[in-house]
Chains A and B, each alone.
Chain A
């Protein structure tokens, strides 16, 4: 079946602009996760959803970051007023439940100029 998909695959934006990153999880997966992969910080966890609910937003790097999930499916990560330090690969993963193996999408490579 189809895996986790993310769009866009690449995004170049100017400092100060807002960006939206999209994740389509595997059908039927109730849990969804966002991670960020950068040279300096490695792979870091941002936020997870159980259904449409995000119980803990403390992993988001700043209040410029927000995420939502609708219909228990698609999720959007929004970064407002982007900064150069936001440049990274943003990875999405989904799992059947919170207990199960996470499957990753190909990521969105974000470059903030």
Chain B
């Protein structure tokens, strides 16, 4: 079945460092891809998404490009802030009757001042 694999955490970075969180997927079709973020004590929020190959999703300085050839959707940010400390989840779905999200295990990011 379809699945999402994320790099193991936790990831600890200093403020202004570059961030990459790897995400790869296995899919039988052509899913939409998502990054969700969960800040401490809060619910899941959509960070960005891409619906087809070569699309780039971006939000709050984060970016991810849908790479069909490598089945990847890596999350990147050029300069992280302390406020970016959170758990990041990569996910996929197909919409319609297969609209349920399939999530990776999550990657905890801690950014130190």
A residues contacting B by CB (< 8 A) are 4, 31, 33, 35, 42-45, 48, 50, 55-56, 59, 91, 93, 95, 98-99, 101-107
Whether the pair A31, B89 counts as a contact (CB closer than 8 A) is: no
How many residue pairs, one in A and one in B, have C-beta atoms under 8 Å apart? 51
Whether the pair A98, B96 counts as a contact (CB closer than 8 A) is: yes
Residues of B within 8 A of A56 (CB): 97
Residue in A99, A101, A105 whose beta carbon sits within 8 Å of that of B49 in the complex: A101
Provide the B74-100 mask, 1 if CB < 8 A to any CB of A, else 0. 000000000000000101000111011
Interface residues on B, range: 20 to 34
Whether the pair B101, A45 counts as a contact (CB closer than 8 A) is: yes
| B25 CB within 8 Å of chain A | no
Whether the pair B95, A98 counts as a contact (CB closer than 8 A) is: yes
Q: Least Cβ distance of A7 to chain B in Å?
A: 14
Residues of B within 8 A of A103 (CB): 46
Residues of A within 8 A of B103 (CB): 42-44
Given contacts A98-B96, A102-B101, contact A107 B43 (CB under 8 A): yes
